């Protein structure tokens, strides 16, 4: 339902803003259109206000056994035809991504390792 609302709003409106609640649950696809997972939630840097990560859920079956991994926000772009986000990250790269420690959102060293892994410039 959220995905449909986002797609409808994005395709029919010239609005430049979208609610984070509409982003949560939106599908993520490979460049070939393969479904990789969905966005579980966003992580926003308090100081800069930048979206740092989309925490992506992938794998599993019917919600069981899913993994979650933070993906740098700039690795995603919205595709109105798919009604979801497209990334150049492969399924294999997601599976091999550095596993976040319990305190990952507070660990500068882990954030640096994650951005380096995905070849992104730092958001900070």
User: Is this structure's pTM higher than 0.85?
Assistant: no
CATH number at residue 10: 2.30.30.240
Residue 123 within any structural domain of the chain: no
CB-side exposure of 94: number of CA atoms within 13 Å?
A: 25
Closest CA to 89 of 109, 115, 63: 115
Residue 62 within any structural domain of the chain: yes
Q: Given a cut of 90, is residue 10 above it in pLDDT?
A: no
The 10s digit of each residue's pLDDT in 15-49 is: 577 888 889 999 999 988 999 999 999 999 999 99
Containing domain of residue 29, as a range?
A: 2-117
Q: How many domains does the chain have?
A: 1
Residue 122 within any structural domain of the chain: no
Average pLDDT, the chain: 85
Residue 73 within any structural domain of the chain: yes
Rg value, the chain, Cα: 14
Residue 7 within any structural domain of the chain: yes
């Amino acid at each position: 339902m959220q995905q449909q609302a986002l797609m409808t709003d994005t395709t029919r409106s010239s609005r430049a803003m979208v609610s984070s609640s509409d982003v949560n649950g939106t599908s993520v696809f490979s460049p070939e259109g393969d479904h990789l997972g969905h966005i579980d939630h966003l992580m926003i840097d308090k100081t800069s206000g930048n979206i740092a990560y989309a925490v992506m859920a992938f794998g599993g079956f019917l919600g069981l056994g899913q993994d979650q991994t933070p993906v740098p926000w700039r690795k995603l772009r919205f595709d109105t035809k798919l009604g979801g986000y497209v990334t150049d990250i492969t399924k294999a790269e997601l599976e091999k991504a550095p596993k976040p420690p319990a305190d990952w959102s507070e660990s500068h060293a882990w954030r640096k390792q994650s951005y380096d892994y995905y070849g992104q410039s730092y958001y900070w």
